Structure 1
C-alpha cells in the first residue's frame, strides 16, 4: 500500500509541477533521486527475499547511480544532460514490476482460492523473473541511450576534465 501511494504521489507531484510551471532545479534533482531510492529499496528487498536475482538488482542500481553521478559531475562543470522520455518509461516499467510482485505476494499471503490459478500462471511462466529481466534490460538500454544522446556533452566534460590535469 505504501509503495502504491508513494508511486502515485510521485507521479502527481511531477505532473503538478509541470502543469503549473513550478519546476525547480531542486525538484529536477530530488524527484529522480526519490524514484531511485523507492525503486532500489524495493528491488533490494525482493532480492534479499530471493524473489528476484541480485545481478538484476545490481545492474539496475549501477545504471541509476552511474547516470545520476555523471549528471551531477557534469552540472558542477556547467554542463547538462538531456533527459529522455524513455527514462520515464524505464521508471514506469520498474514501478510496474514492483507493483506486480507486491500484488503476487499479497495474493499468496491471502491464500484465496480464486487467486490460485493466477498464481499458478505466474509460476508456470516465470512471470516475475521474465518481467524483471525485461525491466533490467530496458534499464541498461536507457543508460546506453543516455550515453549516446549526451555523447557531445560527455565528450566536452571529459575534455574539460583532462585540460585541468
Structure 2
C-alpha cells in the first residue's frame, strides 16, 4: 500500500474522532481533526499524481473517504442545529446516486475518476464545514458571514457535479 492510499485510510480513521469531538463539545479539537483530515485529501492526491501512485484502490477509496468525512460533519451539524436538513438531504442524495453509479460502472470493469466539478464540490463542502466549525462555540465571536454563501455554493456545486457526472458517464446506464 502506497503513501497516498495510507493517507486516505488515515482520513477515514480520523472521522470517528472528529465526530466524537464535535458532538462532545470539543469544537477546537473537532476543527483541528477536520482540518487535518481535509488536508490529507489534498496531500494524498498531490502525492499520487506527483509520484505516479494512482491506483484503482485510490480512485475508489479517496472519494469514499471524502464522502464519509463530509457527510459525517453535515449529519452532526443537523443534530447540533447548525445546518438545515434540506442541505444535507441534497448532498447525501447526490453522494448516494454517484456511489451507486460508480458501483454499476465498477461491475462492468469501468473505473471513473473524479471530475473537476466533483473536486470543486468537495473543496467547497470542506470550506463550508470549516467555516461552520469556526462560527460555532467556542468560535462564534469570529462570525464569518461567508458561511451562508458557502452553504449555497456547496449545495449548487453538489447538484452541478452530480449532473455532470451522470451526463459524462451515461454509457454506464445503457446496459
TM tier, shorter chain? 0.7 to 0.9
Deviations 1:66-95 (A, max 9, x none): 101111111102234463111101100000
Are positions 1:107 and 2:139 aligned together? yes
Instruction: Give the distance between the partners of 2:77 and 2:149, measured in 1 at CA.
Output: 15
Cα distance, 1:65 vs structure 2: 1.3
Q: Which runs of 4+ in 1 moved over 2 A?
A: 78-83, 127-131
Are positions 1:44 and 2:75 aligned together? yes
Are positions 1:134 and 2:153 aligned together? yes
The structure whose residues are more often helix, as a share, is 1
List gaps (5 residues or longer) in structure 2. Answer: 1-31
Are positions 1:145 and 2:164 aligned together? yes
Paired position in structure 2 for 1:77: 108
Paired position in structure 1 for 2:52: 21
Deviations 1:82-114 (A, max 9, x none): 631111011000000001111112422xxxxxx
The higher-RCO structure (CA 8 Å, 6+ apart) is 1
List gaps (5 residues or longer) in structure 1. Answer: 109-114, 161-165
CA gap of 1:9–1:80, structure 2 versus 1, over 3 A, is closer
